[in-house]
Amino acid sequence: MRVNIFGAATVLSALAVSVDAVSVPVKRASVCNGHAELCDRSYGNTTFVGAHDSFAHSTDPLALARDQEIDIPSQLDLGVRLLQAQAHENDGELHFCHTSCALFDGGTVQDYLTTVKTWLDANPNEVLTFIFTNPDGLSVQDMWDPAFQNSGIAPLAYVPPSVPVAQSDWPTLGQLIDYGKRVVVFMDYGASDGTTVPYIMSEFTMVWETPFSVTDASFPCSVDRTSGPLSNEDHMYMINHSLNIDLLGTGVIVSDPDDAPTTNGVASILANAYGCTQFAAGRAPSFVLLDFVDKGEPFQAADILNGFS
């Protein structure tokens, strides 16, 4: 009897697969980004920890332009699921550099993406977001797309049916994983808005940010960079939660590793997040962007914001 029921179910599910082989995934993820509950949670309703200037990692305390201490695979292994980075052209190639390549050169974007692809292959049930900063407006088609294609990440990148996507309209993490589209790519300037390179999406039409280069430890919240036509409440949002110090009163703003255990502590992150909910219909931030992600308890804070503790 048991055997028969089992057999019938197998035939039925095999039928479902053959009838709609293109759109029905054969296997469904049961744990997504480390939590079973997140498989049914909309991407737009999930809080992710992000690494600011993820490529600018160094253990040398004299490397003042560093914003991280640990490398990209270590950041991802810790639980970082948003990688932020800023690119410039260096010798005709796209490099991740902090402000200028003379100050901190993190190597080519293609090498960086290849490193991330290796990690994604080893961690198939993880959804990852990139927010890339393109201050020089370098061509998405000629410079960015080749780096994504050559690294093998482009086929994993999610392309929504139309843009901008409202906060409540994103697929669940389970859907992104099941359909093999578990990388979400945003760019601040120069995205092609669904035309030439549709997987590189315009950040501010869907994600607003709090101010950056903050030197006030109380992190007063306000909506800084954003763009229409969606209302701010229909955007996801990112808190830029890193505290900077004015280097010896010179006006040069650098990130302060000594302070990171406090800034990345649960109390400081939650206070910043709760200060922002007034601009987001009571919702928590989608992204908590941090310097020195290995300090403090940011993943505990994200668990609280996601309702897990």
Ligand X SMILES: *[C@@H]1O[C@H](CO)[C@@H](O)[C@H](O)[C@H]1NC(C)=O
Residues that bind ligand X (CB under 6 A): 45-47, 52, 84, 131, 133, 209, 212-214, 240, 242, 244, 283-284, 286, 289
Nearer to ligand X, 209 or 303 (CB): 209
Distance from C-alpha of 243 to C-alpha of 263, rounded to nearest angstrom? 7
- Nearest distance in Å: CB 282, ligand X: 7
Distance from C-alpha of 72 to C-alpha of 21, rounded to nearest angstrom? 36
Catalytic residue among 88, 95, 98, 235: 98
- Nearest distance in Å: CB 52, ligand X: 4
98 is catalytic: yes
Residue closest to ligand X when measured from CB atoms:
212
**Is residue 274 helix, strand or coil?**
helix
Question: Is 245 in contact with 254 (CB distance < 8 Å)?
Answer: yes
Nearer to ligand X, 242 or 272 (CB): 242
- Nearest distance in Å: CB 4, ligand X: 43
To the nearest 5 percent, what fractions of the chain are helix, strand and coil?
35, 20, 45
Distance from C-alpha of 124 to C-alpha of 118, rounded to nearest angstrom? 11
Nearer to ligand X, 81 or 283 (CB): 283
Question: Is 157 in contact with 183 (CB distance < 8 Å)?
Answer: yes
**Residue 306: half-sphere exposure toward Cβ, Cα within 13 Å:** 26
Nearer to ligand X, 256 or 297 (CB): 256
Nearer to ligand X, 260 or 289 (CB): 289
- Nearest distance in Å: CB 246, ligand X: 13
- Nearest distance in Å: CB 48, ligand X: 9
Nearer to ligand X, 172 or 240 (CB): 240
Question: Is 290 in contact with 241 (CB distance < 8 Å)?
Answer: yes
Burial of 8 (0-12, 13-18, 19+ CB in 10 A): exposed
> DSSP characters for 90-107?
ETTEEEEESSSTTT-EEE
- Nearest distance in Å: CB 290, ligand X: 8
Question: Is 230 in contact with 164 (CB distance < 8 Å)?
Answer: yes
Catalytic residue among 52, 88, 95, 241: 52
**Residue 33: half-sphere exposure toward Cβ, Cα within 13 Å:** 31
Burial of 169 (0-12, 13-18, 19+ CB in 10 A): middle
52 is catalytic: yes
Catalytic residues: 52, 98
